[in-house]
Amino acid sequence: MMLLKILFRNAFHNKLRSSLTILGIAVAILAFGLLRTVISSFYAGVEAASASRLVTRNAISIIFPLPISYTEKIRQVEGVKMVSYGNWFGGIYINEKNFFPNFCVEPRTYFALYPEFILEERQKKAFLADRKGAVAGQKLAAKFGWKIGDTITLKGTIYPGNWDFILRAIYTGRDNTVDQTQFFFHWTYLNEAVKKRAPVFAEQVGFYMIGVTRPDVAADTAVMIDKTFKNSLAETLTETEKAFNLGFIAMSEAIVTAIQMVSFIVIFIIMAVVANTMAMTTRERTGDYAIMKTLGFGAKDITILIFGEALVITLTGGLIGIILTFPAARIFGQELATYFPVFLVSAQTIYMDVAAALIIAFLAAIIPTRHAIRIRIADGLRRIG
């Protein structure tokens, strides 16, 4: 207890300097935590992916469609438990700023494949019974103030024109890692309209969602599905949901790498600041350390004092930064929900924050400790200031 009191007294000997250093550490840890949370959000879809789901798309590119006739052939492949399908719609609500993921799907099988989307049974029945019915995530509905029964008009980009939908259900997530900003409607509604406007594009889907009987047969089932359509006019590429989501992240790999680099640069900069603080503190106490040596205190005691002081400063700043990370992440997530629908501070991020604070304290104290230990008693007593 006495040692702890000494460490805190030493750490706040110069209150202004120590306070500014702690503030700098807090801001750095806050920035580091937010940047790591951004990176985690990029991989949120990967982490939430089910090992029992496969995605089948056109082997050339996801922008090329597949025939709806593939449905029954896929269903007959060994290991397949359930098949659903859909299209990326790409509609815009009111203006370009109000962008959110919207899909047309085969509703019965799609929501059976995604039990993490929770719908009230009465709302679900109303949605299934209405050809123009739609389902929206709770966060999305709250953002625009939508209520059950509202008419929602989306402006088509891939499929031109204004498309009217009736909001019949609002889904919630099974837990806080589920994306609640998506919008779903009936594939048949889109297909019937396309038949009238551009029949050549009808009876096509953008992707198939496939549920397998067991996760361990997923790889073999994917191979068998692709073999089924080998040398056809529309060959397929089937992969796990996790691999499919990773493919999208790979398109933004440069951005993710840049964010990772910036997060570590922030830590390096604050490390230099703390090192400078500890160097100034050690220089001011050179005479004190010389007196300690004359009283019989050794290198170990001086090392404990300097490293302890560095730990007090960095951990205080780190704790403040970690505490501030949660409200900051909540505000950040609300403002950028369209781009980061799941923006949560993970336990791993907190562990990295603590590890960063400890590393800063350790590295920043090495040189001042070495200097204090090596200085001779006579030189130390001669120093003033």
Q: Tell me the per-residue pLDDT of 180-223, one tens digit each, with 9 for 90 and over.
A: 999 999 999 999 999 988 888 889 999 999 999 999 999 999 99
User: What's residue 12's pLDDT?
Assistant: 73
Say if CB 100 and CB 182 are below 8 A apart. yes
Q: Tell me the per-residue pLDDT of 361-380, one tens digit each, with 9 for 90 and over.
A: 888 778 777 777 776 766 65
Nearest Cα residue to 237 out of 249, 248, 222 = 222
Q: Tell me the per-residue pLDDT of 120-173, one tens digit each, with 9 for 90 and over.
A: 999 999 999 999 999 999 999 999 999 999 999 999 888 888 999 999 999 999
Whether residue 68 has pLDDT greater than 60: yes
Token pair for 212 = 């397998």
Mean pLDDT of 93-112: 90
Whether residue 384 has pLDDT greater than 60: no
User: What's residue 153's pLDDT?
Assistant: 94
String of DSSP letters for 109-127:
HHHHH-TTEE--HHHHHHH
Whether residue 303 has pLDDT greater than 90: no
Nearest Cα residue to 182 out of 139, 127, 240, 119 = 139
| CA–CA gap between residue 322 and residue 32 (Å, rounded) | 10
Q: Tell me the per-residue pLDDT of 73-95, one tens digit each, with 9 for 90 and over.
A: 999 999 999 999 999 998 999 88
Indicate the domain borders of the chain. 2-44+253-382, 60-234
Give the list of residues 6+ apart from residue 96 with CB closer than 8 angstroms, or none. Answer: none
Phi/psi of residue 114, nearest 5 degrees: -120, 75
User: What's residue 254's pLDDT?
Assistant: 74
Whether residue 235 has pLDDT greater than 90: yes
| CA–CA gap between residue 35 and residue 260 (Å, rounded) | 7
3-state secondary structure of 229: coil
When the pLDDT of each residue in the chain is averaged and rounded to a whole number, the result is: 85
